[in-house]
Structure 1
C-alpha cells in the first residue's frame, strides 16, 4: 500500500508540474503580452489638464512599467519647458512694447514696486484706506 501511495503522489506531482510548465500544451498558464499604455498622451496637440488626469499607466509586477513612466514624464517635461519659453518670450515682448511707449507706466514693474516696499502700519492721521483723513468733518457725521 505504501508503494502505491508513493507512486500515485509522484504521478500527481508530475502532472501538476507539466500543466504549470506547459509541457502538455494546456491552457492553464499561457504567456500573456505585457500590458501597454492604453491611452497615450496626444502627439498632435499640446497637453491639457484633462490629458494628465486621464493618464493611466499600466501596472507591472513590481509597480509601474518604467518605460511608460519615463515616456510620460519626458513628454510632460518637454511641454512645460516649451510653455515656460513661450511665457518668457511673451513677457519680453510686452516689456519691449511698454519700454517704447512714452508716458505709459510699466505694468510689470508697478506690481513689483509694491511688493518690494516693506509693509508699514497706517498712521493715526490716515483714514481706513491709508489716505489722509479729512479733519474738517465733524465727528459723528
Structure 2
C-alpha cells in the first residue's frame, strides 16, 4: 500500500509536515474540526430523508401523483411534466408534518423554485401559493 505524501500543516506559520487526512500536524491536530462536526451530526439523530419510512412515504406519494409534477399540472397554462421530488408544502422546519395534507410531488425545477422562495416566507404565504398542490386534494 502506498504511503501518503507528506504535506505542509494547514496552520498558518507552521512549517511541520503531516500525512493526516485533516491536514494538521500533531501539534495542531486539535484545529481539525471534522470530528466535532461528525459528533454533532450523530447527536441530531438519523437523517429524515434516508429513513425507510420516508422512502416508503415518498414512493406512495409518487404513485398517487402518477409521477407527474402537481405544480405544473395546476398552473393556469397546464403543463404535463414528469415529477421526481416529494416535497413538503410547509417545511418541517416551519412546523410542517409528514401527513399527505402536507406533501406534494414536484419536478426538479418547481422544487428548487419553491425551496428558494419559501426561505423568507411565512407559513400562510407558503400555503396561499402552494397549498393547492397537496397530494390528498388530487386523489
Structure-1-length-normalised TM-score: 0.24
Q: Name whichever structure is richer in strand by fraction.
A: 2
Structure-2-length-normalised TM-score: 0.24
**Bigger CA radius of gyration:** 1
